[in-house]
Amino acid sequence: MFWSTLDINIDACLEEELPYHDSIFELVQLALKRSNGYPLSLSIAMHWVFEGDTAATIRMRTKDILEMLVAHSMSWRDLHLVLHHSCYPTLYRAKDQLPVLRSIKAPLTTFKFTILQQIRWDSINFQDIFTNATQLTRVHFFAVKIYWSINWSPMTVIHLVSVTSLDEVIPTLRQPFSSPSPLTILKDVILPNSDASISTPHTQT
């Protein structure tokens, strides 16, 4: 029997005590072994922004776990990410190694504005990691213009949590494509708290 879902909550394990790292590492190893190369739905979350020596230790240990996961990126099917920007270079090693990735959520939560500003600048060099994920059809993003560069054509669901993303997305959705026209398969465009109007086939706002 193989495992198909892996949910890693760094906050819950490391918020108060650090020694849990070894247990997390072993559990992730076991989960990857039990997945047996089958497609894997992965969630890894670090919602809190730690400071001082604790922050450095937690980030280092999170990167250790992420390195192990990236080595299995060929099996990633669904990916939910909340990561400190220092982890992005490690995540970037998965570029061009995502043949079965079909959906992304990044991040799962909003950050305070000052933290978001810092992440915007640090993430810009890594935003093309998902460009060649050919099976990707569903995305859920916050501040998508800043975060990741995506091939929008094959999308069936686009969920954008920030209206700052619209400047990039609306022109893309309105663009005429040569045959075949992939945007005819778009089912949902979800734009919370937005009055923007999008005119494209088979979309909802």
Most confident of 6-20, 26-40, 110-124, 131-145: 26-40
pTM of structure: 0.74
Q: Tell me the residue range of the domain where 134 lies.
A: 5-174
Which residues fall within 8 angstroms of residue 36, CB to CB, at 6 or more apart? Answer: 2
- The tally of domains found in the chain comes to 1
Q: Is the pLDDT of residue 152 over 90?
A: no
- Domain assignment of residue 71, yes or no: yes
- Domain assignment of residue 202, yes or no: no
pLDDT in tens, 37-86: 889 999 887 755 555 556 677 677 778 888 999 999 999 999 988 777 77
- Domain assignment of residue 185, yes or no: no
pLDDT in tens, 181-204: 455 577 777 766 555 444 444 444
